[in-house]
Structure 1
């Protein structure tokens, strides 16, 4: 069983389409709508979700790109999902502009075959991304609907190696419980609360320094094209119809991002793809698609 947290801030009709593509009654689903999106959008999504079982809305709060509010939403979501059901094994976070590349049966089988493995992008920040260390070196605050760099320097966490990756992950129930409730996580929360883009470093740093878990794979199981974008440096490119072949052949479980107002046909093609054998059955070792999975670390090589 999988627990999903979906963060939505625009395009409610596109979210509904994605939700229907990932919904099965046995999973748990929790949806957070950015408070800045307004009460009408929240009410519309709540009404849409009302007929579905094992679905809940997380109380809305304002969310700001680059702020700790994104980490806070994930921690609140993890805690709520832990309360909702005692049987789910994996937590997956999505945005309203993501879309699945595999069926829920495939995803469940894949995660079951790797039970206990944490899937999260993570590299040592100082060694691999030294250009991002300024996110940690000064105090940052969320104010006036933006992130403010205070200019006040701060000390690094003693005895801790910072890690960085992406916001996206598929992690175990045990890690979620550790992040939400273990006292060892408190100082990580306190430190990252005043950093920049904490959602790309908090969970990685906590996992790699404090969580006594099992195997960690440097992979978020997403197909994303990162492209330059001014001061942000990188942003996910919007996939369109011409990307269909690449997406349907991808060994990843999800892709981001999509914009139905720009190109809705790509979603038509992916919905059709979800009905095919390639999206529903794990490849056997030695099959061409299995080779792609092995090369990306998705499945273990045959003995």
Structure 2
């Protein structure tokens, strides 16, 4: 374990008093790209945080073994005690990790989902952003889906509508009315949640009933969090929020020439898989994380971003850096 920690250059102590007194909790869902997962984990790893890893059931056995070997070397990293069932994977994976995280000995203050992405901001910058801009509020970007902008039921992913300038759900209609007369919102699957909101999600009858209702909904993770965060009495709720909150930077194909100058890597359906030419745009975005990278097809983009990120982390440190933390 000492060879793993040192060889992979994990940062093993808090780099400032502010960071040492503020714990973040992460959920990371993975099933491939082991090298990218290791890079992501060491970029966001600090000993005062806690990390729940959800390994998809379809992952290869040797992949699961490698992840378990790494996780066993850190007290604040663990694999989710329950694997989400097929067909309802993403939302249940998050819920399962949350159940484990609230029982963690580390007292987390916020929870961030990051998946197989990569951080743009340092741990210190993330804390500053959450404290200064949100101050105990949840970040769940999304809106009520306009009735005139419904998309067809046979689409396998959400689509963009130029007339509304938002993504709309592929659910043209729902099988049944939502419970407790809840207004269903549609938004991002990426979020930042307070611990009290997580406890609300796990215990409140409205949250439980909405989770059951979501079972037959396409992409339920794009409805569930944003809908509950618009409930006025939910802890840290933002009932009047829209698409605010810079969590993930994504280059959507339909926004080429408007929000960005095009994908310099390649498009995977409607999303850019970044190449080195995308780095200037990435580092200028106000977002906390960037989506998405593939180290197996174009490792240079994430390698450059990783080195830039580590240099910035060490420059911001209030304590002397261990020489082994440098790449």
TM-score (norm 1): 0.78
Q: Which residue is 1:257 aligned to?
A: 292
Q: Which residue is 2:94 aligned to?
A: 74
Distance in 1 of aligned mates of 2:298 and 2:201: 38
Task: Please list every run of 5 or more consecutive structure 2 residues that lacks an aligned counterpart in the other structure.
Answer: 1-22, 152-167, 255-267, 317-327
How well do the aligned residues superpose, as a CA RMSD in angstroms? 2.5
Distance in 2 of aligned mates of 1:128 and 1:39: 46
Farther off after superposition, 115-124 or 28-37: 115-124
Question: Compared with structure 1, are the counterparts of its residues 160 and 86 closer, same or farther at alpha carbon in structure 2 (3 Å cutoff)?
Answer: same
- 1:15-164 matches, cutoff 5 A: 15-59=37-81, 61=83, 67-85=87-105, 87-96=107-116, 98-113=117-132, 114-127=134-147, 129-131=149-151, 132=168, 135=171, 137-138=173-174, 153-157=175-179, 159-164=181-186
Contact 2:84 2:92 in 1 (8 A): no
Distance in 1 of aligned mates of 2:197 and 2:237: 12
- How far does the alpha carbon of each residue in 1:203-257 deviate from its partner, in whole angstroms, 9 at most, with x for none? 11122136523353532511011236xxxx9642101100111111221110010
Q: Which residue is 1:266 aligned to?
A: 301
Contact 1:107 1:253 in 2 (8 A): yes
Distance in 1 of aligned mates of 2:303 and 2:148: 38
Distance in 1 of aligned mates of 2:114 and 2:236: 23
Contact 1:105 1:280 in 2 (8 A): no
Q: Which residue is 1:180 aligned to?
A: 202
Give the superposition deviation at 1:135: 2.0
Distance in 2 of aligned mates of 1:154 and 1:134: 16
Contact 2:179 2:206 in 1 (8 A): no
Give the superposition deviation at 1:136: 6.6
Question: Compared with structure 1, are the counterparts of its residues 28 and 280 closer, same or farther at alpha carbon in structure 2 (3 Å cutoff)?
Answer: farther
Distance in 1 of aligned mates of 2:45 and 2:189: 22
Which has the larger strand fraction? 1
Secondary structure at the residue paired with 2:25?
strand
